[in-house]
Structure 1
Amino acid sequence: MSNKENETLIQGTVEEALPNVMFRIILDDGRKIIAYLSGKMRMHRIKVIIGDKVEMVEDLQGNRHRIVRRL
């Protein structure tokens, strides 16, 4: 179980929508990453579209990020 105090929030902009509720995100420093929608956002049917600013946390595996908020 993750400790919310240790999670670092990262902001970026959605560049492309991928299959399985995944997105390609451009971070503020120019890097591109893959992120997926969090379970709460899926449950409440919060839509994320291209061009939206989003806030993410790093996944436990470290290779993907989880979108936790649409800004």
Structure 2
Amino acid sequence: MTEQKWIHEGLITESLSNGMFRVRLDNEDLVLGYVSGKMRRKSIQILPGDKVKIEVSVYDSTRGRIISRLDNDNKNKNKDSKD
């Protein structure tokens, strides 16, 4: 039987060493996240302020695996504005 996982969206608040990140979930919980293997192999860069999709274990809700980086709407809005 496979382990149950919750998938949340969150915001990277802090970059730590060894591909670890502090992630604030949409429900305001803080989680320690690490980059999944596929993202490491493809060298996807994650920076503070990026929105990510994170997979959190049911048994340990303080750690999770970052499975994808989501598009930031704020970056596109700032690029289009002429202010």
* Alignment TM-score > 0.5, same fold: yes
Q: TM-score, normalised by structure 2?
A: 0.73
Decide whether aligned partners of structure 1 residues 17 and 43 sit closer, same or farther in structure 2, where only a CA change above 3 A counts: same
The two structures, once aligned, show a CA RMSD in angstroms of 1.9
Decide whether aligned partners of structure 1 residues 16 and 40 sit closer, same or farther in structure 2, where only a CA change above 3 A counts: same
The residue aligned with 1:67 is: 66
Aligned residue type for 1:67: I
Structure 2 stretches lacking a partner, 5+ long: 71-83
Q: TM-score, normalised by structure 1?
A: 0.84
Q: Give the deviation of 1:60 after TM superposition.
A: 7.6
- Distance in 2, matches of 1:27 and 1:58, equals 11
Tell which structure's C-alpha radius of gyration is larger.
Answer: 2
CA contact 2:54–2:64 (8 Å) conserved in 1: yes
Structure 1 residue ranges, 4+ long, deviating more than 6 angstroms after superposition: none
- Distance in 2, matches of 1:15 and 1:52, equals 8
- The number of residue pairs the alignment matches comes to 69
Structure 1 stretches lacking a partner, 5+ long: none
The residue aligned with 2:75 is: none
Percent identical residues: 38
Aligned residue type for 2:55: V
